[in-house]
Amino acid sequence: MRAMMERNRGKIPYIAVDGVYDDMAKDKIFWWTNGFYAGELWQFYYLTGDDSFREDAVSIEEMLDKAFADFQGLHHDVGFMWMLTSVADYKTTKDERSKVRALHAAALLAGRFNLRGEFLRSWNRDNSGWVIIDSMMNIPILYWASETVKDPRFSQIANAHADSVLEYLVRKDGSVGHIACFDPNTGEFQKLLAGQGYSADSSWSRGQAWAIYGFALAYRHTQKSEYLMAAKNIANYFIACVSRTDFLPLVDFRAPAYPKKWDMSAGTCAACGLMEIADHVDSCEKNLYRDSAVKMLRAIEHAYADWNPDTDGIIGYSSHSYHNSEETHVSMIYGDYFFIEALLRLKGDVLTIW
């Protein structure tokens, strides 16, 4: 991590191509992953106390001010972008400017709430009735805002959204859809759409991971038992699926058998979610979720970790989506972030950002 940091100062990485990080700061300042590298840096600052990690993380946070200023490219992923930058900074240093940035992001997310349908709209363009499962990992910034300024409006919106996601995107067997489409004027549910999975009826593995971790975090913030039950149901389905492939996750658990497409980022994110669940259940269940997380992390590390300090990226074989051939089986920044967070959870040295 130190070697990568020295090579990439001033960058906001997304994908490592041939062992070299790209830079989203140049022309994609709104990109949803732009907080993850800073999140890695904050985790290492918390672990080591080395100011070089903090300084680089702060520089990325400051770069994202341009996204606030330009505004129109921002959407529901402001949670990802500013939880891992400004919230992490504020929790670590109590910097007031970071607190303001994070509250600004929370207010922008709350402003996307559809009153009729009781959901936070995803993305932009003309899809004003769309909700994606990824949104469950963005609502923690609303819980944080409520706790920070003692204003229940933010958590009320987060809970209403989580309830809608639970009703329309989570299936009884623990699988989840990616996109729920609502009529934005009436709030009426219309249908599920395929999104980044194989089809509307399939089971995109990283969507499963977002749901596991997202509902587990919602439970942490609210103590609403239905959120923990949802997280466990989705987690049990995920564990059953990955156990059939030696704990290495496919891109979609219901895609055709061939060609085989993998997504290790789904595994690293799910591992964090499984360990979050383990924090809230009794000893028998705790062992199930924690042991399953460790099995995935070990399998992923053994098969696809790159520990060469001369190349960027740690975990390979992550994939953007089932039908995107360009970003398939590559090293992606969020796969690395969740791998790092998961290892630090195991060590007991993690910065609790979410």
Q: Is 77 annotated as a binding residue?
A: yes
The half-sphere exposure of 66 on its side-chain side, counting CA atoms within 13 A, is 12
What is the reported pTM? 0.97
> Is 321 annotated among the ligand-binding residues?
yes
Instruction: Give 248-301 pLDDT, tens digit per residue.
Output: 999 999 999 999 999 999 999 999 999 999 999 998 899 999 999 999 999 999
Work out the average pLDDT over 10-27.
96
Nearest Cα residue to 207 out of 244, 259, 255: 255
Q: How many whole angstroms separate alpha carbon 246 and alpha carbon 195?
A: 26
**Which of the residues are catalytic?**
77, 134
pLDDT tens for 159-202 read 999 999 999 999 999 999 999 999 999 999 999 999 999 999 99
**Mean residue pLDDT across the chain:** 97
**134 is an annotated ligand-binding site residue:** yes
pLDDT in tens, 80-139: 999 999 999 999 999 999 999 999 999 999 999 999 999 999 999 888 999 999 999 999
CB-based contacts of 354, cutoff 8 Å, min separation 6? 83, 137, 140, 213, 217
- Cα–Cα distance, 209 to 190 (Å, whole number): 24
Question: Does 54 count as an annotated binding residue?
Answer: no
Residue 210 counted as an annotated binding residue: yes
- Structural domains present in the chain: 2-347 (1.50.10.10)
pLDDT value of residue 74: 96
Percentage of residues in the chain having pLDDT higher than 90: 98
pLDDT per position as a tens digit, 322-347 = 999 989 999 999 999 999 999 999 99
Residue-level pLDDT at 199:
97
